[in-house]
Structure 1
Amino acid sequence: MIVYLNPFTGLAGDMLLGALLDAGASLDAVRQAVAATGLTGWRLDAERVRTGALTATRVRIEVDDDATERPAAQLITMAARTGLPVAEAALTAIAEVEGALHGVPPADVHLHELGGHDTLIDIVGCAAALRDLRVTRVHSAPLPLGGGTVHTRHGVLPVPAPATLALLKGARVRGGEAGEAVTPTGAALLRAVGTAYGPAPEMALRATGYGAGGRVLPDRPNVTVAMLGEPVAGEGTQIVLSTNLDDVTGEVLGHVVERALAAGAADAWITPAVMKKGRPAHVLHVLTAPELADRLQDLVFAETGSLGLRRGVVEKVALPRHFETVRLHGRDVRMKHGPWGVKPEYDDLAALAEATGKPLRELAREAFDAL
């Protein structure tokens, strides 16, 4: 599924969560994911509220512990317990930008305003809602930046806050009115899911959700809009899944390729790569029909332990082909004919080579001569 976001008045973690719940995500699934973190002393509810001329879903979080400061590493560890890569990636992104801004390693970052229950609940909740809706692609209209100032533990800072701007690197933004329109939590979630910015992609619209923010605006509803739809696939449309891996053995990589092909992938292959810091790695690619993409994505995550992958839509051009069979040494060998040539099927030649002891290259020449 695809989600297209319209940050009408902005985007915060609770607004995004409200919009996803309004679009059909299960509140129970969200609660179960938050509970899996080990967080205690919280209650999460969603209610329909009136905001301007619209009704929307507002997330209500009640906590027994009002502490707002925690080590970022603690929150990341708690998010990792959920099995939700998006949640872990979003919190890691916050730790990285906060560390860069304050000159400390990400592992030593101590979150102040972002260290409370709300941050973990919003991020884990949104990741769980996206999984429940089986969302694989997130698109968004340009984000309003807001303006003015905000009071923080570090004093008065400009809006957007420095952490928000760092998290929005690469995003498409636009001017906005005074006030905090995009929060660090919202920006971290958009980064974690690899959001694409621009017009809505072509899709079959299935549901629309409105997530309400806490501010009351005098002239408009305060909402984030989430539109949920299915990709519109042409006859030749295929999905390519790819992920960079530097900690997976060759045996596991070969196993994943075999499993992907057995599960219906049109093709699967591995290419060598050099990642950041000069680390040697491999890129796993899986080509599949759109209807199998979610299943194969889950397979790749489960087998490799990867925390993320890329999904791309490609158009597969398939030329016409037909088969002809030739008889060699008492066995059938299929010959594949295309518009620009002919070749024997490898599996047939390999089986014949095993049976006869003849070199495969010699058998290939015999197959061509037998046409």
Structure 2
Amino acid sequence: MSRILFLESVAGVAGDMFAASFVDAGLVSVAELLDLPRQLALEGVQIDITRPTKATMRTTHINVGWKNESWKKPLAAFDHTHGGRQAAGHSHANITHPSAAEHWHTHYSELDRFLGASALDDVTKTFARKVFRLIAEAEAEAHGVTIEDVAFHEVGAVDSIVDVVMAAFCVAKVGASKVYATPVKIGRGLIKIEHGTQPVPPPASARLMVGMSVARVPEAITRENVELSTPTGLAIIKALTPEFVNSAPAGVVQAQGMGAGTMDLGTFPNVFRVTVLDDSGAAARAALPFETDEVVEICCNVDDETSERTAWTVEQLLELGALDAWVTPAVGKKGRVAMCLSVLAEPARWQELADWLLRSSSTFGLRHRRWDRLKLARRFETRDTAQGPVRYKVGLTTDGKVLKEKAEFEDLRAIWKKGPAVK
């Protein structure tokens, strides 16, 4: 079974929301998560799991706390430079601490060694360390310090550690072959954090967002100042390197769950949703001796452009990287003669081509859909002929059986230019 992981930032993402969605979907058990503090040797840490209702929908919420401060001891064992750092150079990650009395912290380098020495399985351990590395890099860049000087203080440290490890365990347990995600909702306005009043996204989150697709705050969320996605949540998504999409991928849904945040957003559900799909079509396609991939088809109807302009549009789309582009005659509204312009694009390129098409053609809108594709394996050969060298495109199965071949048009055109009788 080829598993697909589809992540939806319904109302943003945080580490606890991410892990809670997997519990809600039944992808991991409560007992498995409750055992993680033991694997980390974090005594006194407790994980509370509840089933709140958000905007009439049943969800799952996870809260990480501690009964006493004994959880600090294993982290302190990895502090090889305690007392040797200058506090003024620290960047304190994640959450504001309420008083100077709670100004305990652990640095990124110590945390990384702690995770590396833990009893976690290798996949969980590697992913958790990757997430914290991303957070540390973002914090260091945001505050002008080295990664080694990035510190996680008391209120932020233990829940961030457990949140990230829970998320890493969930990712490892599912073992998805492909990850898709909707654009992440960040928030808006201003918030107060340890470093003072900051715009949303705050500095570390802003750096984690680089390269990620983001979305506006839904109109149904009326709060003016709201942070929907935390640095921890953003780092988890970034570490997964998903393909960002606006709709669910094709497949058979195996499980779906929603993890709840703590904010009350009124009629809008403060949740993060996970869906696991079985790409059953992939297994069927794999049984055939052909190559497979996915493409996005973009279509629009045009009834007010000249044929010359439309031909130029097709030419430009191909130069911009479209896999193919073509025009189909049609009859539009009010009996007008029209053309349906279609474009095939790689999934990573379709948005760029759609943007160009909306800006450069007369259409006011377009359609797009994702297709699974079967295709022949291809190779190119140059053969000597009576008219000179000619390149051939050869189509064959993945096990090497030649099914068809075709001479390249440009080479044929060069031959035909020698005279109409030449074939």
1:144 partner letter: K
Tell me the distance in 1 between the aligned counterparts of 2:134 and 2:197.
23
Give 5+ residue unaligned stretches, structure 2.
70-101, 294-371, 378-395, 406-423
Are 2:117 and 1:75 aligned?
A: no
Which of 8, 18, 26 in structure 2 is aligned with 1:6?
Answer: 8
2:21/2:273 contact within 8 Å kept: yes
1:7/1:141 contact within 8 Å kept: yes
Tell me the distance in 2 between the aligned counterparts of 1:337 and 1:216.
61
Deviation at 1:185, TM superposition (A): 0.4
Give 5+ residue unaligned stretches, structure 1.
240-312, 323-335, 342-371
Deviation at 1:221, TM superposition (A): 2.1
2:103/2:153 contact within 8 Å kept: no
User: Which structure would you say has the larger Rg?
Assistant: 2
Which of 231, 235, 241 in structure 2 is aligned with 1:184?
Answer: 231
Change (3 A) 1:8 1:150: same
Change (3 A) 1:321 1:181: closer
Tell me the distance in 2 between the aligned counterparts of 1:34 and 1:170.
33
SS of equivalent residue, structure 1 residue 116: helix
2:51 aligned residue: 48
1:211-248 CA distance string (max 9 Å, x none): 11111122222111111111231244679xxxxxxxxx
1:312-335 CA distance string (max 9 Å, x none): x9967463599xxxxxxxxxxxxx
Q: Report the TM-score, using the length of structure 2 for normalisation.
A: 0.55
Are 2:173 and 1:132 aligned?
A: yes
1:61 aligned residue: 64
Tell me the distance in 2 between the aligned counterparts of 1:136 and 1:19.
19
1:321/1:338 contact within 8 Å kept: no
1:230-289 CA distance string (max 9 Å, x none): 1231244679xxxxxxxxxxxxxxxxxxxxxxxxxxxxxxxxxxxxxxxxxxxxxxxxxx
Deviation at 1:49, TM superposition (A): 1.5
Which of 256, 271, 274 in structure 2 is aligned with 1:223?
Answer: 271
1:166 aligned residue: 207
Tell me the distance in 2 between the aligned counterparts of 1:4 and 1:207.
10
Change (3 A) 1:143 1:339: closer
1:23 partner letter: A
2:255 aligned residue: 207
Change (3 A) 1:337 1:206: closer
1:117-143 CA distance string (max 9 Å, x none): 110111100110122222333211111
Change (3 A) 1:143 1:114: farther
Identity of aligned residues (%): 27
1:104 partner letter: V
Are 2:26 and 1:26 aligned?
A: no
Tell me the distance in 2 between the aligned counterparts of 1:314 and 1:166.
36
2:243 aligned residue: 196
1:260 aligned residue: none
1:190 partner letter: I
Deviation at 1:8, TM superposition (A): 1.2
Tell me the distance in 2 between the aligned counterparts of 1:19 and 1:44.
15
1:16 aligned residue: 18
SS of equivalent residue, structure 1 residue 9: coil
2:292/2:375 contact within 8 Å kept: yes
Deviation at 1:67, TM superposition (A): 6.7
1:73 partner letter: S
1:36 aligned residue: 39
Superposed CA RMSD:
2.8
Which of 134, 137, 142 in structure 2 is aligned with 1:96?
Answer: 137
> Paired residues, what number?
255
Tell me the distance in 1 between the aligned counterparts of 2:156 and 2:132.
10
1:203/1:230 contact within 8 Å kept: yes
